[in-house]
Structure 1
Amino acid sequence: MDIVTARDIRAALMKVGFSCRSWALAHGYTPRTVQKCINIHAPEYETKIKGKEYRLIMQDLSHTLGVNLNTGANDD
């Protein structure tokens, strides 16, 4: 499954047994922050990931889903 959109990320989380909210809480993040990060930094947007927390969220999501979601990531 190609994960490109925010919807794809949420669907992939559901396949591994998480809602966005449950994943956020299980990993120590605020659910709203995770939702915002996914909506802003889904791979389809190819945006530069700014902020340490957003970078960590995308890294943790990548690890959970077994894909690289940091396609637009780079160092500040």
Structure 2
Amino acid sequence: MIAHNRFNHHIFELIHARAMRGEGVLLSWTDCYRHAPDHQPIAAIKSFIMNPWTDLDAVETVCRQLLEARQQAIAAGGAA
């Protein structure tokens, strides 16, 4: 679980850096959205749609950028 949490946090850091450069979406992070059966915390990247006029293109952008960051994290030596 710790390795998965680290991998997901790396993905979050890539997305966050891109957003801070004004090039991407802004997502949030939680260290423990729930616990695994063995009581370890499960971390998560979170996306909240706050605008009622958000369209499918915007949601697809979030998904595309998340997948791009995942590929970057894998290429950097992370696990899939």
Pick the TM interval, shorter chain.
Answer: 0.3 to 0.5
Q: Which has the higher contact order (CA 8 A, sep 6+)?
A: 2
Rg larger in structure: 2
Q: What TM-score comes out, normalization by structure 1 length?
A: 0.35
Which structure has the highest strand share of the two? Answer: 2
Which structure has the highest helix share of the two? Answer: 1
Q: What TM-score comes out, normalization by structure 2 length?
A: 0.34
